[in-house]
Amino acid sequence: MTDCIFCKIVAGDIPSSKILETENTLAFLDISPVNKGHVLVIPKEHYETLTDIPDDLLSLVVKDMKKVAVAVMMATKADGYNIQMNNYASAGQVVMHAHFHIVPRFKGDGFELWPGREYECGEAESVMDDIKSEVK
Amino acid sequence: MTDCIFCKIVAGDIPSSKILETENTLAFLDISPVNKGHVLVIPKEHYETLTDIPDDLLSLVVKDMKKVAVAVMMATKADGYNIQMNNYASAGQVVMHAHFHIVPRFKGDGFELWPGREYECGEAESVMDDIKSEVK
């Protein structure tokens, strides 16, 4: 897409710190890292969100993401890492070209996960039934 | 693994609100949801983190995850969703059986992503080189 910043990075029209490039996948440093070594992994072809990416392509992207995750851990000497994908603006997606974040994590780096709540009595069953009925 | 809570859920020894079960994958409600409809997707076989899951199995799990993500969006009428995977304790992994979170998101639900920082001059190139040298 002509107005997509990640498509421009794929095309080489915008510079990036490339970590891995294959036929289908590009991995490059996030320019605004949560921790140093924070990498984005994208399908080179433009798809907006996770569910838009065809299964065969997604398999290749995720396989490459595993490789990069190992390299991030080794290079940054991280104690762990988060994989995150924000789908749609309400989930924090800013660039509308599907991308996985690999965020290296370190003991005591202070980033907190969102808190969980509790279902009321019978509520989980109702939510479960609603979701199951939508699985195609 | 005998002491793994998710293996016990797979075996049926601990109850869960199952959304989808295939030969290789199980999806069920997180009992402590960030938002209602928060689902966990796991390979039924025990693997600790993302990079431990064999590529072929991961492809199947991710394919099923896409299906469930669509169903979560439809059933909860969410405006978006996050995919999150916490690998190792320092990244917030509590159950050491690899699992993807699907967190439905709603406009104004108030959950913030972690803030990004900036690389100093020349630092990104150095980090890039370190990670690239570890990609196998």
The reply to whether B73 falls in a domain is yes
Q: Are B39 and A24 within 8 A, CB to CB?
A: no
The reply to whether B127 falls in a domain is no
Interval A4-43: pLDDT, tens = 999 999 999 999 999 999 999 999 999 999 999 999 999 9
Q: What is the distance between the alpha carbons of residues A53 and A48, in angstroms, rounded to a whole number? A: 8
The alpha carbon of residue A98 is apart from the nearest alpha carbon of chain B, in Å, by 12
The reply to whether B120 falls in a domain is no
Q: Which residue has the tokens 């994958």?
A: B25
Residue numbers of B between 72 and 131 with CB closer than 8 Å to A: 72, 74-76, 78-93, 100, 103, 105-107, 109, 111, 113-119, 123-125, 127-128, 130-131
The reply to whether B66 falls in a domain is yes
Given a cut of 90, whether residue A2 has pLDDT beyond it is no
Helices (H) and strands (E) in chain A, counts: 3, 5
Instruction: Say whether A124 sits in a helix, a strand or coil.
Output: helix
Interval B72-130: pLDDT, tens = 999 999 999 999 999 999 999 999 999 999 999 999 999 999 999 999 999 999 999 99
Beta carbons of A62 and B59 less than 8 Å apart: yes
The reply to whether A74 falls in a domain is yes
| Residues of B that are catalytic | 99
Please give the single-letter amino acid code of residue B27: A
pLDDT at A30: 97
Backbone angles phi, psi at B108, to 5 degrees: 75, 15
Q: What is the DSSP letter of B35?
A: S
Please give the single-letter amino acid code of residue A71: A
- Which residue among A72, A107, A130 places its CB closest to the CB of B90? A107
pLDDT at B61: 98
The reply to whether B96 falls in a domain is yes
pLDDT at B2: 76
- A53, A83, A131, A133: best to mutate for the B interface, most B CBs within 10 A: A131
The alpha carbon of residue A122 and the mean position of all alpha carbons in its chain are separated, in whole angstroms, by 33
- Give this prediction's pTM: 0.97
Q: Are B39 and B102 within 8 A, CB to CB?
A: yes
Q: Are B76 and A133 within 8 A, CB to CB?
A: no
The reply to whether A28 falls in a domain is yes
Given a cut of 90, whether residue B1 has pLDDT beyond it is no
- Which residue among A30, A80, A123 places its CB closest to the CB of B91? A80
Number of compact structural domains in chain A: 1
DSSP states along A25-47: EEEEE-SS-SSTT-EEEEESS--
Q: What is the distance between the alpha carbons of residues A63 and A57, in angstroms, rounded to a whole number? A: 10
Residue B81, domain extent: 5-111
The reply to whether B124 falls in a domain is no
Interval A61-119: pLDDT, tens = 999 999 999 999 999 999 999 999 999 999 999 999 999 999 999 999 999 999 999 99
Q: Which residue has the tokens 């990069």?
A: A68
pLDDT at A127: 96
Q: In what order do the strands lie in the sheet with A39-43?
A: A18-21, A25-29, A39-43, A100-105, A80-87, B80-87, B100-105, B39-43, B25-29, B18-21
Q: Tell me the CATH number at B11.
A: 3.30.428.10
Interval B29-80: pLDDT, tens = 999 999 999 999 999 999 999 999 999 999 999 999 999 999 999 999 999 9
Q: Which residue has the tokens 């190792």?
A: B88
